[in-house]
């Protein structure tokens, strides 16, 4: 089964983490979503600039306040036997660092960020949002570099409430880092 011209989805039964690690390193992102392999190309330059800028701000805050671990792709997050994702940025609180293993994160991080690319936008907004909610990721941010928007999803009653959307070069205060003044102008530059 093929996706957009920029991605490939291969339905070969219910794939597992063991199947994933046997794939050749081809410079592409490989994820398993509910047993199906999804392959996307390397991120764009703009994607990487925005990812770096956001990561640096979040990293400085997490380190200063000793909140836990903030990490970036590539790093496998094993949500269950048939769901392995590679989010752009993730946070694990100090109280939950036991889910960090030498080879991967095993369990739901406290916070995940996906930075949209043309080939991933639909999946990040739909399939991944549903998976992240289902597996207990309390905070999920979708960053759109082209439209300079940040969508903030928080779980309430086991599902994500409608997102709060921040546009342009505004200062954001949002869980799980509510005490952080996140200047989106610094992220977009």
Check the CA dihedral 180-183-187-189 and report its sign: negative
pTM given for the model: 0.89
Domain count, the chain: 1
112-136: burial string, b at 16+ Cβ within 10 Å, e else: bbbbbbebbbebbbeebbebbbeee
- Determine contact, residues 37/9, Cβ cutoff 8 Å: yes
Residue 170 lies in a domain: yes
Residue 174 lies in a domain: yes
Per DSSP, the three-state class of 149 is: strand
How far apart are alpha carbons 189 and 185 in whole angstroms? 6
Residue 16 lies in a domain: no
| Tens digit of each residue's pLDDT (9 = 90 or more) over 79-119 | 999 999 999 999 999 999 999 999 999 999 999 999 999 88
Residue 6 lies in a domain: no
- Determine contact, residues 21/32, Cβ cutoff 8 Å: no
Residue 11 lies in a domain: no
Residue 172 lies in a domain: yes
| Tens digit of each residue's pLDDT (9 = 90 or more) over 16-75 | 999 898 888 888 889 999 999 999 988 889 999 999 999 999 999 999 999 999 999 999
Range of the domain at 60: 43-188
One-character DSSP codes across 62-111: HHHTT-EEEEESS--EEEETTEEE--SEEEEEGGGGGGB-SS-EES--SE
Mean pLDDT on 142-154? 97
Token digits for 53? Answer: 């800028």
Residue 133 lies in a domain: yes
Residue 9 lies in a domain: no
CATH value at residue 72: 3.90.1570.10
Compute CA 92 distance to the chain's CA centroid, rounded to the nearest angstrom: 12
Per DSSP, the three-state class of 39 is: strand
Q: Are strands 105-106 and 149-156 parallel, antiparallel or unpaired?
A: unpaired
């Amino acid at each position: 089964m093929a996706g957009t011209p920029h991605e490939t989805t291969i339905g070969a039964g219910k794939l597992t983490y063991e199947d994933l690690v046997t794939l050749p390193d081809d410079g592409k992102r490989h994820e398993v979503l509910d047993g199906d392999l999804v392959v996307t190309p390397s991120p764009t330059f703009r994607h990487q600039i925005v990812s770096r800028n956001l990561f640096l701000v979040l990293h400085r805050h997490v380190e200063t306040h000793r909140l836990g671990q903030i990490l970036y792709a590539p790093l496998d997050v094993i949500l269950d036997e048939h769901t392995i994702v590679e989010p752009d940025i993730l946070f694990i609180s100090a109280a939950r660092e036991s889910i960090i293993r030498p080879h991967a994160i095993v369990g739901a991080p406290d916070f995940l960020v996906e930075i949209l690319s043309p080939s991933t936008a639909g999946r990040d907004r739909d399939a991944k949002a549903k998976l992240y909610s289902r597996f207990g990721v309390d905070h999920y941010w979708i960053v759109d570099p082209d439209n300079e928007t940040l969508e903030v999803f928080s779980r309430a009653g086991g599902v994500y409430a409608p997102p709060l959307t921040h546009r342009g070069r505004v200062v954001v205060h949002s869980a799980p880092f509510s005490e952080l003044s996140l200047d989106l102008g610094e992220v977009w530059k």
